Amino acid sequence: QNRGRMLISCPDRPGIVAAVSKFFSEQSANIVQSDQYSMDPEGGMFFMRIEFDLDNLANRLEGLKKHFGTIAESFMMDWSMHLAARKKKLAILVSKEDHCLLELLWQWQAGDLYADIEMVISNHEDMREQVESFGIPYYYVPVTADTKKEAEQKHLELISGKVDTIILARYMQIISPYFLQHYPNQIINIHHSFLPAFVGGKPYAQAYNRGVKLIGATAHYVTEELDGGPIIEQDVQRVSHRDNVDELKRIGRHIERIVLARAVKWHVEDRILVYQNKTVVFV
Amino acid sequence: QNRGRMLISCPDRPGIVAAVSKFFSEQSANIVQSDQYSMDPEGGMFFMRIEFDLDNLANRLEGLKKHFGTIAESFMMDWSMHLAARKKKLAILVSKEDHCLLELLWQWQAGDLYADIEMVISNHEDMREQVESFGIPYYYVPVTADTKKEAEQKHLELISGKVDTIILARYMQIISPYFLQHYPNQIINIHHSFLPAFVGGKPYAQAYNRGVKLIGATAHYVTEELDGGPIIEQDVQRVSHRDNVDELKRIGRHIERIVLARAVKWHVEDRILVYQNKTVVFV
Amino acid sequence: QNRGRMLISCPDRPGIVAAVSKFFSEQSANIVQSDQYSMDPEGGMFFMRIEFDLDNLANRLEGLKKHFGTIAESFMMDWSMHLAARKKKLAILVSKEDHCLLELLWQWQAGDLYADIEMVISNHEDMREQVESFGIPYYYVPVTADTKKEAEQKHLELISGKVDTIILARYMQIISPYFLQHYPNQIINIHHSFLPAFVGGKPYAQAYNRGVKLIGATAHYVTEELDGGPIIEQDVQRVSHRDNVDELKRIGRHIERIVLARAVKWHVEDRILVYQNKTVVFV
Amino acid sequence: QNRGRMLISCPDRPGIVAAVSKFFSEQSANIVQSDQYSMDPEGGMFFMRIEFDLDNLANRLEGLKKHFGTIAESFMMDWSMHLAARKKKLAILVSKEDHCLLELLWQWQAGDLYADIEMVISNHEDMREQVESFGIPYYYVPVTADTKKEAEQKHLELISGKVDTIILARYMQIISPYFLQHYPNQIINIHHSFLPAFVGGKPYAQAYNRGVKLIGATAHYVTEELDGGPIIEQDVQRVSHRDNVDELKRIGRHIERIVLARAVKWHVEDRILVYQNKTVVFV
């Protein structure tokens, strides 16, 4: 209840850690975990993640942020401060394949995913029963070439004000730049290949044709460049000449759900910083 | 001494295994290991690898091949038969980076690589002493933009008649189509990325810029398409935002040498069949 | 529908493959996949797995078996022949942890586990609703120190004649020798450690205390020796000093479900042969 | 040249990070990397590793240490401070198997192992030539059941005052408690199994007999308990029923050399803290 988290990005220069530590010390907060990374002590970017304990944090958070503002300004920090107990609110978008969705629902139910799943939105009705059995609202928003814009408008209405983070759990529609600008670095997609290999459609068929010996999956933040956003997590599994495209898909489903679930977990625990087109992940 | 190996590729149809087994049985040969793979029992390709024991094989091998010809013809087989005791003869080509070469020399010395390393050829003098200390001839063949053709001619003279297999152990020159046609599926290259990601030059810099979370290496047969030949083996290792390009190279060196050594081992043990642009690897 | 599978173990000697191939050829069956392994061509054991296609196999299977008997006898074969289309019938036993059960139910629902799950039996009521939502019968059989024998008797009644294979999906009761003798090499357990490390209870606490850098899980056939039966599959995941016992359990749950699901899949596809206390797995 | 490193272990309590940061800030040192881990903010142990830059550090290090003493005392710290540029001095002990030694020599030559290898000591003459070709002194100290004590005395004479860290690179003799007390947490051994599985002799034969599906290696600090000291690093590789004991040894050699090299690298970079029988490794 009294645990807070802080993320900081700023140009590196001497004194950052000391200033931040002094701030927490003066507030009688105890730093229980601190991670940092400097791209280059001479003029590179500096990234930091802090977990701290402070009595009565829920009530003091706003004051704390205000006080920190002065330090942040002097170091030109891009920063955020969170109450760890405040769960992030997720919307999961899904099409017809259910494995990534089910993994998230299941980890959520097991208590391994500390977040609120506010809703599931799909362009198909297929998974309504399963999702509702978890007590989660299910919205069916059909999408056709002609109704793409209306569908996105409907999505925005559904999630607006209720959701921090959007998970594309094998949602097979491209998100418009208009939509993206409302949720910068807050939309996580799972791509079913080891990016940047096999960008675009049918990656398992591409992998089969190229005869690769490992297949993979990639979770990334969505940007305007298709399959080109900052990579959060990747993993692979060994395959052989015996595995045809269907078998690659079957194996791939396991990697996809593991990789997406890890990425979402790190996101909701404020472990990811984005800089340009890359992520810094403190795990 | 009496161990033989056989590789077969042919269109699948009923009776192949029976015909091959019967042949070996009639010759009083004992099949000690047999692997097979059918792309599709209905009209796909069929691949087979057999290890067999036969008394006095060294003297009987030519006769055995002759007898097998009739079966091979009736099934339209592409096939080869080898005396396991006859070591393949390798030439290793290398430029300035020594890690892949050293791994091969070392595994060879440890008895893990069952082959004769006939020579090392380099466009630099750097590794002469090290190679010669293993008792292996070292040839320095400089290559410039102008002398590329003469250099390849020199290579052909050096290896012609003495070498079965050519290993490009971080040899940073492109092999000409003229050279390639002399050694189809007999030239193995190590590419320092998880192909098809990061084709071409400076793959670690490309990987760093893209922010991937795993880096890899790929051993493949060399064809006219740059970094596009049949993949033999790949592996990856986890990296993080902390790893800069130099660190990626350091980590990559480990993967490269492991992956190349595995591919060469499989090749010299007649474990690889090539079909179109893919490999069937029986391990 | 016409696909059959055969498993053979026997002392190695010349002529086995030829005899088996000849048999299938004479029956006009087409061998589509064949794997074999010889521990030692001179007097070791020989193991073989064959997939074959034969028209009208369902009706001809019994005749085929009868014919094969003569060959089997002359080679002292331990063997079995299966109609691939005939699904194995499973009973899953579970206590309070649901992750291994759910993974199996889910893969079954996705069509990745080709078997019939006939029933789930538990010594707790907790998972009834979830299991029944899959349309699978759920039996609650409480077990106390005093009722252990009656509980096992009840289990035998429930499964007798209905089930081929029993999966202990984190079932926290020891199976009696009496029960085991009814299902030799047909009971699969998942142990939550990388056996033989951390045999017995609380393996994650043991792993934490020892400070290991990888944790694992092991699927094995159950024998009278606790955690000592033939190992089918194992896998591990990296952990660090940061992971306390709860975190090890969380990470472990992922490995456990993956490892158990793989083992069950191989078992129902007749890919596993047991010899003494080890398995030969043809994948 | 101006890079320093610091390792701290102490009981956790509020204010540690602030005090340490303030100290470095007052000395005009810039913290470029900081890692920390708290076993439990309420009364557990706290571990910290800092990399810092300070002008003219070589000359100021002693003064810095003196100043830090007061802080260290008030927090009951166990601590050390190192000049990063000062290489650790290693002695490598080896018996007849050369792969772990060669990997270290090779990484050292490639510049990947930042340390001085002062000497190699062996109870066999076998590797003299190879070691001396790297310009490293080689001492032959035979060991028999009767001369064990004299041999250790000879070792101590050779290394005393010249060496910080002793690497047992497949040195097949047990180190006496007397010797150990001179080098607490400074002797690194590679054990050829995934400890605690297969403690003691012939671990690959044990692994083969148990039928495990993965084999591993473990690097650990040596303590009086055989194969029981704090684990630094472990890794595994998949094996199958096809791999006999010799094949397990061959595969194992790769894991052993990789695992030992990683552990040594972390040790010489001051990345390892030992607490009770476990390690905290900041990588």
pLDDT tens, position by position, B18-57 = 899 989 989 999 888 889 999 887 889 999 999 999 999 9
Three-state DSSP at D63 gives helix
Residue A165: its pLDDT value, please? Answer: 97
Q: pLDDT tens across A109-148, in order?
A: 999 999 999 999 999 999 999 999 999 999 999 999 899 9
Residues D104 and D224 in one domain: yes
Residue D14: its pLDDT value, please? Answer: 85
Kind plus residue range of the DSSP H or E element containing D129: helix D128-132
Residues A94 and A209 in one domain: yes
Arithmetic mean of pLDDT, C54-69: 96
Q: pLDDT tens across B51-99, in order?
A: 999 999 999 999 999 999 999 999 999 999 999 999 999 999 999 999 9
Residue A248 pLDDT class (50, 70, 90 cuts)? very high
CB B2 within 8 A of CB B55: yes
Highest mean pLDDT among B17-21, C28-32, C257-261: C257-261
Residue D252: its pLDDT value, please? Answer: 95
Q: Domain with D28 in it: what CATH number?
A: 3.30.70.260
| Contact (CB<8Å) B254/D258 | yes
ipTM of the complex: 0.93
Q: pLDDT tens across D97-144, in order?
A: 999 999 999 999 999 999 999 999 999 999 999 999 999 999 999 999
Structural domains of chain B, count: 2
Q: Domain with D178 in it: what CATH number?
A: 3.40.50.170
Cα–Cα distance measured from residue A246 to residue D1, given in angstroms and rounded to the nearest whole number: 56
Subunit partners of chain B (3 or more CB pairs within 8 A): A, C, D
Rounded to the nearest integer, the mean pLDDT of chain C is: 95
| Least CB–CB distance from A106: residue in C102, C112, C250 | C102
Residues D126 and D211 in one domain: yes
Find all residues with CB under 8 Å of A209, minimum gap 6, and list them. Answer: none
Residues B173 and B69 in one domain: no
Residue C32: its pLDDT value, please? Answer: 86
Cα–Cα distance measured from residue C2 to residue C119, given in angstroms and rounded to the nearest whole number: 28
To probe the interface with C, which of D7, D37, D208, D212 has the most C CB atoms within 10 Å? D212
Residues C104 and C68 in one domain: no
Residue C40: its pLDDT value, please? Answer: 85
The C-alpha of B210 sits at a distance from chain A's nearest C-alpha, in angstroms, of 7
Residue B40: its pLDDT value, please? Answer: 85
Q: pLDDT tens across C6-18, in order?
A: 999 999 988 898 8
β-pairing, B214-221 vs B187-191, is: antiparallel
Last residue of a domain, one of A53, A83, A113: A83
Whether residue A18 has pLDDT greater than 90: no
Residues A29 and A111 in one domain: no
Whole domain around residue C10: which residue ranges? 3-83
Give me the active site residues of C, please. 227
Residue C218: its pLDDT value, please? Answer: 97
User: What percentage of residues in chain C have a pLDDT greater than 70?
Assistant: 100
Establish, for the pair of chains B and C, how many residue pairs have beta carbons separated by less than 8 Å: 58
| Contact (CB<8Å) D15/A34 | no
Q: pLDDT tens across A66-91, in order?
A: 999 999 999 999 999 999 999 999 99
Residues A117 and A255 in one domain: yes
User: What percentage of residues in chain B have a pLDDT greater than 90?
Assistant: 89
- Chain B contact residues (CB < 8 Å to C): 13-15, 17-18, 20-22, 24-25, 28-38, 41, 53
Whether residue B232 has pLDDT greater than 90: yes
Last residue of a domain, one of D48, D83, D118: D83
Residues B153 and B226 in one domain: yes
Residue C42 pLDDT class (50, 70, 90 cuts)? confident
Find all residues with CB under 8 Å of B103, minimum gap 6, and list them. Answer: B257, B258, B260, B261
Cα–Cα distance measured from residue A5 to residue C101, given in angstroms and rounded to the nearest whole number: 35
Residues B35 and B102 in one domain: no
Q: Token pair for residue C93?
A: 């036993």
Find all residues with CB under 8 Å of B17, minimum gap 6, and list them. Answer: B36, B48, C21, C24, C25, C31, C34
Q: pLDDT tens across B200-209, in order?
A: 889 999 999 9
Residues B79 and B137 in one domain: no
**For A34, nearest residue in chain D (alpha carbons):** D36
- Chain D contact residues (CB < 8 Å to C): 37, 194-198, 210-214, 216, 230-236, 240-242, 277-281
Give me the active site residues of A, please. 227
Last residue of a domain, one of B83, B105, B121: B83
Residues B76 and B171 in one domain: no
CB B179 within 8 A of CB B152: yes
Residue D7: its pLDDT value, please? Answer: 98
Arithmetic mean of pLDDT, D60-72: 96
Q: Token pair for residue B204?
A: 């670690």
The C-alpha of B144 sits at a distance from chain D's nearest C-alpha, in angstroms, of 27
**For D272, nearest residue in chain C (alpha carbons):** C241
| Least CB–CB distance from D102: residue in B106, B112, B258 | B106
Residues of A in contact with D53 (CB under 8 A): 41
Residue C20: its pLDDT value, please? Answer: 93
Q: pLDDT tens across C197-246, in order?
A: 999 889 999 999 999 999 999 999 999 998 999 999 999 999 999 999 99
- Chain D contact residues (CB < 8 Å to A): 13-15, 17-18, 20-22, 24-25, 28-38, 41, 53
| Contact (CB<8Å) C258/A253 | no
Cα–Cα distance measured from residue B267 to residue D17, given in angstroms and rounded to the nearest whole number: 56
| Contact (CB<8Å) A99/C110 | yes
Residues C75 and C151 in one domain: no
